[in-house]
Amino acid sequence: MQIKVAVLVDVQNLQETFERQGMEVRYDALKDYLKAELGLDEREIKFLAFVPYKREDDRRMRLIDALSFMGFRVVTKPVREHPDGGMKANMDVELVLEAVNLISAVGEMVIVTGDSDFVPLVDYLSRRGIRVTVLGPGRGSTSVELIRASDHYSNLDSLAGVVIPRFHEEPPLPEA
């Protein structure tokens, strides 16, 4: 079977947006939604997730593993720390390069982000004949310019079971 659609997920953008709201993304539910919405078999969709990480961030490392086990091709990059204490955790270039490399292989791309930095990419893909759907956070978190540039936009918040209240693990109770 030939790949028909590429799904590119800007994990950092989603994590930052939804964590501020006390929510989290269920990437397995996102995959299931996209397979049903696109009416395609999983073998006809290439799922890619772009994830910056710090080795000491166990939660992020578990997310990378989980995404891999779910069938995402996970593109990672270590977070760069600046001398002033700031951090650079941006995967935009990697996502753009993957998208451009996939142009000849697919007729449609789904970009999962709210980041306006991807407007030029969406414009470029559209000019190359690729249909572009943007799935982005709601509540004003997705750039209006990105929505306008896309062929179709869906609000992630409105997709049943995809964005859920963030679960906080409780420490185990001591045994009596």
Unique residue bearing structure tokens 């953008």: 13
Contact criterion met (CB below 8 Å) for 91 and 10:
yes
- Is the pLDDT assigned to residue 97 strictly greater than 60? yes
- Quote the tokens at residue 172: 């185990």
Contact criterion met (CB below 8 Å) for 136 and 156:
yes
Q: Which CATH architecture has domain 22-81+88-113+121-164?
A: 3-Layer(aba) Sandwich (3.40)
- Quote the tokens at residue 162: 């995809």
In the chain, domain spans: 22-81+88-113+121-164
Could you tell me the pTM of the whole model? 0.89
**pLDDT tens track for 13-39:** 998 888 888 888 999 999 999 999 999
pLDDT computed for residue 172 by the predictor? 54
**pLDDT tens track for 69-96:** 999 999 999 988 777 766 677 899 999 9
CA–CA gap between residue 58 and residue 66 (Å, rounded): 12
- Is the pLDDT assigned to residue 124 strictly greater than 60? yes
pLDDT grade for 46, boundaries at 50, 70 and 90:
very high
**pLDDT tens track for 139-167:** 778 999 999 999 999 999 899 889 888 87
CA–CA gap between residue 108 and residue 98 (Å, rounded): 14
pLDDT computed for residue 174 by the predictor? 56
pLDDT computed for residue 85 by the predictor? 65
CA 87 to chain centre: 20
